[in-house]
Chains A and B, each alone.
Chain A
Amino acid sequence: QKEVEQNSGPLSVPEGAIASLNCTYSDRGSQSFFWYRQYSGKSPELIMFIYSNGDKEDGRFTAQLNKASQYVSLLIRDSQPSDSATYLCAVIGGYSTLTFGKGTMLLVSP
């Protein structure tokens, strides 16, 4: 069974700083990786996906994938208080099922 590990946090950063969220996965054959953001009381929303080694940038967000180390990360530049949420890492498996990590809570202080 695929496993996805995340530090539960909370990760606290000041406004304007870079937040770095990390995720490791157990299945070396995993191909595609996703980052979801979940605000308290809301459902998860997709913010990034990555399937190639290296970096993928979208606005203030950068996803990084290192398949050799089985490691995925999400960097949030110029963090804002509105970025305070739980960030879920997920790995795709058979039949497009997603296995999620338990999430890392990010707190951005003004």
Chain B
Amino acid sequence: DVKVTQSSRYLVKRTGEKVFLECVQDMDHENMFWYRQDPGLGLRLIYFSYDVKMKEKGDIPEGYSVSREKKERFSLILESASTNQTSMYLCASKTGTGFGYTFGSGTRLTVV
């Protein structure tokens, strides 16, 4: 089975900190995605990547950036964390030809 690993299950950060959320997949998938999930708002796409060093903005990229230096790793960066970025962050990957995503277990980030 494809495994998508998010490095932290829970994180607490202070306002203004630079935060790195890491995601690694082990099946050579081309496409990787970062979503955030909030009650009443559902899953919203932040950024995605379809190849190494390629990145595209999703629906809510403001306040975030990403890095994909290697195919297996896709990092989400909060340049200066704010309280409105408190959320569950979900990473996902898929092959270029396959259907559906495989999600990581999520990182619940709290910004205080």
Q: Which residues of A contact B (CB under 8 A)?
A: 1, 32, 34, 42-46, 49, 88, 95-103
Contact = CB atoms under 8 A, between A and B. Distances in A.
16 contacts: A34-B99, A43-B106, A45-B103, A46-B99, A49-B100, A88-B42, A95-B48, A96-B94, A96-B96, A97-B58, A98-B45, A98-B101, A99-B45, A100-B42, A102-B41, A102-B42
Nearest to B91: A43
B104 A95 contact: no
Interface residues of B, number: 24
Nearest to A101: B42
Contacts of A98: 33, 45, 101
Among B58, B100, B105, B106, max chain A CB count under 10 A is at: B100
Nearest to A50: B99
Interface of B: 31, 33, 35, 40-43, 45, 48, 50, 56, 58-59, 90, 94, 96, 99-106
Contacts of B102: 46
Contacts, number: 48
Contacts of A34: 99-100
Contacts of B43: 44, 88, 100
Contacts of B59: 1
Contacts of B99: 32, 34, 46, 49
